[in-house]
Amino acid sequence: MKQSPELLRRLLRAKDRMDRAPEEAWPIHRLARVSATSPAHFAREFKKAFGLPPHRYLLTRRIERATALLRDTDRPITDIAFQTGWSSIGTFGRIFRDITSESPGEFRAREGTVPHRREEVPECVVRSVDRPILKIAVSEKRRRKAAGKLDIQSS
């Protein structure tokens, strides 16, 4: 069933709030309040509208921001973790590795050795290329990897 334009506007309002402040805590009940829906309805409709559950969408935004800061600044990794909304450096490192297949330090070292000409590429293209793929849950990726069944399409 197609979603109403009014519902989509309210879902976009919640998505925009996450985009503006991905470092903040965004539990489902808070997002549901922003979009004037019940938590269960919000979670279902958000996934239907945007293809990802709200929590995975937020992880994507946080990792995007962290990769940009790791690449473009020399700030300590701990500062970047806290600035992008992680309350634990260990959790940040584990999730970052699960999503990007590199630790934050490895990512920074690799990116530092590659010459970039990003200023010549439109920002929307850069963001699209850098966006982590979270079509499956991080815990599911970890389980599949342990079983030796992680295919390149789902990573």
What is the tens place of the pLDDT at every residue in 51-107? 999 999 999 999 999 999 999 999 999 999 999 999 999 999 999 999 889 999 999
Domain range spanning residue 129?
56-154
**Which CATH number goes with the domain that contains 119?**
1.10.10
Asked if 10 contacts 36 with a C-beta cutoff of 8 angstroms, the reply is yes
**What pLDDT is attached to residue 135?**
61
**What pLDDT is attached to residue 144?**
73
Q: Is pLDDT above 50 for 109?
A: yes
- Residue 46 shares a structural domain with residue 64: no
Q: Which residue has the higher pLDDT, 115 or 28?
A: 28
Compute the CA torsion angle 117, 100, 96, 65 (nearest 10 deg): 30
**What pLDDT is attached to residue 154?**
47
- Residue 24 shares a structural domain with residue 90: no
Residue 116: how many CB atoms within 10 A of its CB? Answer: 12
71, two tokens: 């690449």
**What pLDDT is attached to residue 151?**
53
At 34, the pLDDT band (50, 70, 90 cuts) reads: very high
109, two tokens: 């070292």
pLDDT tens digits, 112-141: 765 556 566 676 766 666 666 656 666 666
Residue 33 DSSP code: H
Asked if 59 contacts 26 with a C-beta cutoff of 8 angstroms, the reply is no
- Residue 73 shares a structural domain with residue 143: yes
Q: Is pLDDT above 50 for 152?
A: no
- Residue 29 shares a structural domain with residue 63: no
Asked if 144 contacts 150 with a C-beta cutoff of 8 angstroms, the reply is yes
- Residue 63 shares a structural domain with residue 42: no
